Amino acid sequence: MRADSERLVQALSVARVPVSHREFPHMWHDFQLYAGMVPEATLALEEMARFITEHLTVKMRDHAAHDVAGAPQAGAVQSGR
């Protein structure tokens, strides 16, 4: 799985997609499920949350900046008039 992850990171980087890759030596496959009990798991989830929040915030801000004034927003209900 490590080699697959490394190939995915490389492909995403080439495609200019924001990506972060972090290894936690001596941890098992799904150790993140033990956040709150295993310090490395807690750290891993904190890092993931920070990355996701940073990139979603930027994406949402960019999207809002490109919205046309008065254009219906996604999920908006339009009247039949």
pLDDT in tens, 6-54: 999 999 999 999 999 999 999 999 999 999 999 999 999 999 999 999 9
Structural domain contains residue 49: yes
Residue 4 maps to a domain: no
- How many other CB atoms are found less than 10 A from the CB of residue 27? 14
Q: State how many domains the chain has.
A: 1
- What pLDDT does 73 receive? 54
Between 56 and 8, name the one with better pLDDT: 8
Q: Is residue 36 part of a domain?
A: yes
Domain that includes residue 55, residue range: 26-65
Cα–Cα distances (Å) from 58 to 24, 62, 66, 69, in that order, read: 27, 6, 12, 20
17 within domain boundaries: no
Q: Is residue 45 part of a domain?
A: yes
The model's pTM: 0.66
Within a domain: 54: yes
Position 33 in a domain: yes
